[in-house]
Structures are given as structure tokens and as C-alpha cells.
Amino acid sequence: MIQSREELLREFLNHLRVVRGMAGNTVQSYRYDLTHFSGYLATEQVSFEEVSQATILDYFGALREKGDTARTTSRYLAAIRCFYRYLLQEHVIAVDPTSNLESPRQEKHLPRILSVKEVDLLLAQPKSGTIAGLRDRAMLELMYAAGMRVSEVVGLNTEHLNLERGFVRCLGKGSKERIIPVGEIAVQCNREYLNRGWVKLRKNTWEKAIYLNLHGKRLTRQGFWKILKEYAKRGGIPKEITPHVLRHSFATHLLENGADLRVVQELLGHADVTTTQIYTHLSQRKLREVYERAHPRA
């Protein structure tokens, strides 16, 4: 009996969550991408079990016509491929329609970063005279000091931050734990926030989240993004700034100042060093710019 698309999708997402132990954000990404694909199949009146390689190629053609990039298409393909491997494993289908599909080639883009002066300007915007300012300075300093992802920062609990010894313990992708040293400025800002701001924001004694909104609840990723955007605007920084730009800046500034690539890989929590190597391109580009400005025959 052919199951409905909704049933198959629900079972797959449950498999990711329970059996494979994927993080909630990752499961939500799969849900979004596969719901999009399911919507296309609904218009074509095709079930998941009836999908062929030609169906998927037609879907990608529709994405390209709509203006989606190769990066977006690759993301959809990754979700679809994972889903059909699951269906094959569960004997829902006999042939995997994604088995011979190649991911579209993506143009490599260097990540956006801030200069050291721009980081200093950004971090100077929160005012320590307010509770929100204490919180914002503390978490922005920590993000830049430790190169953490926004989900890792807002997910921190009090037991994860050791200010006496100067390190933070965070859970990255795939629930992989890493220990990251924290500089003295970030330590001081977080100590001041916990002593003067957190105790006032905290409404419930059981609340363990470090960074709280004004209602005393854990700050969300969206809340963090809005705060960052507002401070960039206040500082007159013309670049488009996202939370990940601070992470990119952290890695690039370390490499520019002589840090070992493998050390930066460990600090960022990258499983493969090739992911970290993108930052060496940024360092090399800056080296080229300095050379061309300084050398008389460049």
C-alpha cells in the first residue's frame, strides 16, 4: 500500500531525531526542504514512491527557472538523497532515484569578514549602563573570543562557562562537544553581566540559560541576529553583518596572526580541515593586498 507523502515524511523525520540523534535545527532544515519537494510532487500528482531520476531533474529545472542558486539546489538534493536512502533501507522503494545524481557545481565564495577595527567598533556599541547592554557586550565578546556559532552561544547554560579558568564548553553540530579558551576581556564582560545583569533578568530559579531576553527566557537566534544588526547600524559599519561573520572574522584574524590551521580547526569544531582552509584564502588575499600597496614594482 502506498503511504501518503505526509506519513512517509513524518516517519523519516522521526528516524532522524530518534535513531540518528540529529539536532532539532538540522531536522527542521530537512523538514523544510522535503516539504518544498513534496509540494512540487503534489502539483505533478506523483507520490514519493513513484519518483524517478527524471522527476528530480525536472524539479531542479523548475528551481533554476525560479532563480535558485546551485548552492540551494545542492541543499535540496542532499535532503532528497538522504530521504531516499532511508526509503530504500526501509524497503519502501526498490531503486534509489538519487543514486546517479551529481550535485551541481557551486561557485566558491570567500566568507565575509570584519577587520579588527570594525570588530572593535562593533563591540564598543553596547552600553554597560543598561542590563541589555551588559548582556549584549558579554555575548558578542564571547562569540568573537571563541568563534562560536549563534546556536551555540544562545544555547549556553551557566555550567558551560567557567570564568575562573577561562574556557567555555559548547555542543556543536552532531552534539560534538569542544572546549574553547576565552580571553580576559570576554571573561570580564561575562562576569559583570552575570553579577549585575543576569540576576535581574532571571525570573525563575530553575532557569539555566546564560543569555536571557527581557522576559527572562532564553534568547533566540532571531533575537541575537536583531541585536547584532542594530549594533552594526549604530556603529556605522556598512558591511552586511550576520552572526556567522563574527565566526569568520575570529578564524581569519587568528590565522593572520600566526595561529596553526589545525588549532583553528579544533576551535571551530570542523570535522575536516579542508573546511577550515577557506580562511587561509582570506589571509593570502590580505597578504597580496599589502604586497601590492607596499612593493614599488607590484
Mean pLDDT by 10 residues, the chain (298 residues): 79 91 88 93 90 90 84 87 93 90 65 90 93 96 94 94 93 81 95 95 92 94 93 92 90 87 86 77 60 59
Please indicate, yes or no, if residue 201 is contained in any of the structural domains: yes
At 67, which CATH number?
A: 1.10.150.130
Do 58 and 134 lie in one domain? The reply is no
Query: Does 253 participate in catalysis according to the annotation?
Result: no
- What lies within 8 Å, CB to CB, of 166 at 6+ separation is 181, 182, 183, 184, 187
- Whether 137 and 79 share a structural domain: no
Residues 59 and 130 in one domain: no
Are residues 150 and 201 located together in one domain of the fold? yes
Active-site residue, from 75, 112, 178, 270? 270
Which residue range(s) make up the domain with 179?
116-293
How far apart are the C-alpha atoms of 245 and 238, rounded to whole Å? 13
In a domain, 24, yes or no: yes
Single residue among 89, 104, 130 that ends a domain in this structure: 89
The active-site residue out of 5, 247, 248, 253 is: 247
Indicate whether 255 and 185 sit together in one domain.
Answer: yes
179 part of a folded domain: yes
d(CA 152, CA 155): 5
Same-domain pairing of 49 and 160: no
Q: Is 56 found in the same domain as 120?
A: no
**Structural domains in the chain (count):** 2
Question: Catalytic site residue 76?
Answer: no
In the residue annotation, 149 being an active-site residue is answered as yes
Nearest to 112 by CA among 269, 220, 255, 249: 249
Question: Residue 95 domain-assigned?
Answer: no
Of 30, 59, 231, 279, which is the active-site residue? 279
Options 5, 135, 137, 149, the catalytic residue? 149
Which residue is catalytic, options 17, 64, 173, 286? Answer: 173
The CA distance from 291 to 285, in Å, is: 10
Of 85, 127, 203, 244, the active-site residue reads 244
Residue 244 among the catalytic residues: yes
Report yes or no on 67 lying in a domain: yes
Kindly state whether residue 104 falls inside one of the protein's structural domains.
Answer: no
Q: Specify whether 295 is catalytic.
A: no
Last residue of a domain, one of 47, 71, 89: 89
Q: Provide the CATH number for the domain around residue 231.
A: 1.10.443.10
Same structural domain, 184 and 69: no
210 and 174: one domain? Answer: yes
Tell me the whole-structure pTM to 2 decimals. 0.63
Residue 247 lies inside a defined structural domain of this protein: yes
* Structural domain contains residue 106: no
How many residues in total does the chain contain? 298
Q: Are residues 42 and 152 in the same domain?
A: no
The answer to whether residues 140 and 285 belong to one domain is: yes
Can you tell me the distance from the alpha carbon of 5 to that of 53, in angstroms, rounded to the nearest whole number?
Answer: 18
Residues 71 and 151 in one domain: no
